Amino acid sequence: MAGAGRKVWTGETLSVPDLQNYLQDQVVAVFENAAARSAAIPAPTEGMPSYLKSTRSVEVHDGTAWQVVARTLMARAFLLQSSAQTGLPSGWQDIYLNTETIDTAGGHTTNSSPVAPTHQYVVPAGTPTGPYLIGGSVVFGGIGAAAAYNCRLIKNGVAVPGFGGQSWGAPGGGNGFSSALPTKLLELAAGDVVHIQGFCTLASWLTGVFSDAASHMTLHRIG
């Protein structure tokens, strides 16, 4: 049982209960994932520590459940569009982010197949639910007419309230125009899918990629 505290031996033989209570149950045991831990410790008690390689986290059991107390790797991602999308019709469109500048947890893929589209970030399996800072923007280009330029964040196929932006203007001359997604907190769990969409009131529009601006999404787990 964890919580036995500390004992000073003064020459006596180390007993099996002492080995279990003072050493084994209080050491930070290392496991590949939560399933391996459950198999090894089917009945954890309050105070037991462990380390999971799958999530790179130190966890302690509080008597009811395992709680994360430290994480050696916080998920961070900066996903960028490196080539423009053209011929987009009026209405909301997924913005393809095909370049990974940063992706510490491997939630994004540059595979363009329908199974793993480049516009999505998927929270990896085994990741505990927690808060993420998410932001980004959609950059529009080569548009000469006045229009409204919009962006929004999608989670599991549904627009997230409060995560959207709109700009109004007429770039003209092939210049870019951007609509920013406000950086806000959003709680995500393993398997959640997030991506950004853009919308222009013109009948046909395209995204822009410039030397100093491109559509992007940022994601940073903070706890």
Provide the residue ranges of all domains of the chain, joining segments of one domain with +. 16-71, 76-221
Same fold, 16-71 and 76-221: no
Give residue 152's pLDDT: 94
| Protein fold of 76-221 | Jelly Rolls (2.60.120)
Task: Give the confidence band of 84 by pLDDT, cuts at 50, 70, 90.
Answer: confident
Give the confidence band of 3 by pLDDT, cuts at 50, 70, 90. low
**E-strand spans in the chain?**
29-31, 49-52, 57-61, 66-71, 76-80, 88-89, 93-94, 99-103, 121-122, 130-141, 147-155, 158-169, 176-188, 193-200, 204-205, 209-210, 213-214, 216-221
Q: Mean per-residue pLDDT for 31-53?
A: 90
pLDDT of residue 137 exceeding 70, the answer is yes
> Rounded distance, CA 151 to CA 166, Å?
7
Q: Report the pLDDT value the prediction gives residue 178, as an integer from 0 to 100.
A: 78
* This model's pTM is above 0.85: no
User: How high does pLDDT run on average in the chain?
Assistant: 83
24: helix, coil or strand?
helix
Residue 171: predicted pLDDT:
54
The CATH code of domain 16-71 reads: 3.40.1620
pLDDT digits (tens, 9 = 90+) for 171-212: 554 556 778 888 999 999 989 999 999 988 888 888 888 777
Is the pLDDT score of 33 beyond 70? Answer: yes
Dump pLDDT digits (tens) for 89-119. 888 999 999 898 999 888 997 766 555 578 8
